[in-house]
Amino acid sequence: MLVTDKAGSVAKRPPTYIRTNAFLEPFQELINTYGIPKYKEANPACLYAVTFPFMFGIMYGDVGHGAMLLCFGLWLVSQGDKLKYTLPDLYMPRYMIAMMGFWAVNAGLMYNDFFSIGLDLFGTRFVKDEAASAHGTSDFYTPTYDITNGEADPSTYDQTGPYPFGLDPSWHGTSNELLFVNSLKMKLSVLIGVTQMFVGIMLRWSNAIYENNKTDFIFECLPMTIFMVCFFGYMDFMILFKWVTPMGNPPSIINSLICMAMGQVDTAPLWDGSIDLEAKLFLATVCAVPLMLIPKPIILWMQNKNKAPAGHEVVPDEEAACEDDGHGHGGAFKLDEIIIHQVIETIEYVLGTVSHTASYLRLWALSLAHQQLSLVFFQKTILNGLFMDFPMNGIVLFLLFAMWFGITCGVLLGMDVLECFLHDLHLHWVEFQSKFYNVGGDGNEFSPYSQKRVLKPKGE
């Protein structure tokens, strides 16, 4: 709510005070660096505490390197009292580092990657094809169940089921390993990205509901949700549908989306009736754009056409949110500025949603980069020593291990951790927070009264 003082000028927005603890403090610091939340605006610190280390783990994903990072974080936690005043830069993010290491281990188990080596924890669900192996082919592993015409053959189905958790170890070292793993990680990145952006829109819902701003709720939150769910949510549904449905010749999701957007006939639909559903979903997606663009400026103009310029009266909550909080325009109502702002906001959301979805592919790209770097370092150092004869191999392995450990600490535990951290920060600041921070977090941080600060001479 905007209020005026005796001189008729608009008073400042109430300051924002956020109570934190040792665990949430580093995540709140990241949010405040991007922008202070406005008074009583949704604060995503609790979500950051889960999604930030989780998405770091998706990018870093290695059991060995993640365990080393986890041990370092646990050591920082155990030495917290000693580091509080000697190394405050390591003291504050100690819990964050431990969580990042934990989720890196979790993702490494999911990728079945331990210093670039596969772990056979539960036994492979593939059987060796002796006939193919006798002919010298590299692809001599076949699944223990056959897929015929989209149905599983019960006579050859493995009763133990699929691999319990993560990637089957038989994929490591095969000729098509990179092709399969890249497809898996790329689809996981899209699923996680769309889910996080949808959560950001739900936070926008919470802001509109709490402020009782019906205009923003009906003509921004709802069409944004329709646009997100009907196209990108449907894309995620197609990914999951292909994963859980046996198909002899599965169609391409990209081709289905192109046919959906261009209005072309899909010659290879996912299931019977999917073409009609896609046409209806895309129609809803297209209709959501003018719903975001046109009604809100008209409503704001009707609400303010008979009113004096803001700053000379008390403005109701909803109108204040529309005039000032929603657009960053204080003072008199200007229709041309509102229209320009709404056009920019609509274009930014529509195009931004497409680019942001593609931006989440960095989860896959950095995971691939980490795995390939780890593999190269292992092959060029320790693996060479394993092929030497005794006793030379013992001496060489000792030196090669020192070389491998130094490169690992310098590159994968130093540079790569920082790189994944920065990309993770970009995903949260740009792709996530832009969905519900109206003006990038233009709140005023609460600062308690201090005589020392007030009486401090200027320039000191």
Per-residue pLDDT band for 120 (boundaries 50, 70, 90) equals confident
Is the pLDDT at 159 greater than 90, yes or no? no
Q: What is residue 460's predicted lDDT score, i.e. its pLDDT?
A: 60
Q: At what angle do helices 63-78 and 45-60 cross, to 10 degrees?
A: 140
**In this structure, is the dihedral angle defined by the CA atoms of residues 243, 249, 254 and 255, taken in order, positive or negative?**
negative
Token pair 């191999």 is at which residue? Answer: 393
Question: Which residue is it, tokens 């830069």?
Answer: 89
Give 171 or 330, the one with higher predicted confidence: 171
Looking at residue 396, its pLDDT comes to 87
pLDDT over 60 (residue 47):
yes
At residue 160, the pLDDT reads 55
Q: Domain residue spans in the chain?
A: 125-162
Instruction: Please check whether residue 239 is in contact with residue 191, taking contact to mean a CB–CB distance below 8 angstroms.
Output: yes
pLDDT surpasses 60 at 266? yes
Longest dimension (CA), the chain: 94
User: Comparing C-alpha atoms, which of 346, 332, 231 is closest to residue 295?
Assistant: 346
Q: Evaluate the omega torsion of the peptide bond into residue 391 and state whether it is cis, within 30 degrees of 0.
A: yes
Give the mean model confidence (pLDDT) for residues 142-152: 40
- pLDDT digits 0-9 by tens, 96-112: 999 999 999 999 999 99
Q: pLDDT of 344-355, one tens digit each?
A: 999 999 999 999
Average pLDDT over residues 368-395: 86
Token output for 185 = 């990680």
Rounded Cα–Cα distance for residues 212 and 409 (Å): 52
Who has greater pLDDT, 1 or 399?
A: 399
Is residue 142 scored above 80 in pLDDT?
A: no
CB 117 within 8 A of CB 378: yes
User: pLDDT higher for 177 or 46?
Assistant: 46
Q: What is the pLDDT of the chain when averaged over all its residues?
A: 82
pLDDT of residue 135 exceeding 50 = no
Confidence band for 128, pLDDT divided at 50, 70 and 90:
low
Rounded Cα–Cα distance for residues 223 and 380 (Å)? 54
pLDDT, average across residues 64-82: 94
Nearest to 322 by CA among 222, 223, 214, 225: 214
Q: Is 150 helix (H, G, I), strand (E, B) or coil?
A: coil
Does pLDDT of 415 surpass 80?
yes
3-state helix, strand, coil in the chain (%, to 5): 65, 5, 30
What pLDDT band is residue 12 in, cutting at 50, 70 and 90? low
Q: What is the mean pLDDT of residues 257-276?
A: 86
Quote the percentage of the chain above a pLDDT of 90: 47
Token pair for residue 313?
């009266």
pLDDT at 314 over 60: no
pLDDT value, residue 325: 42
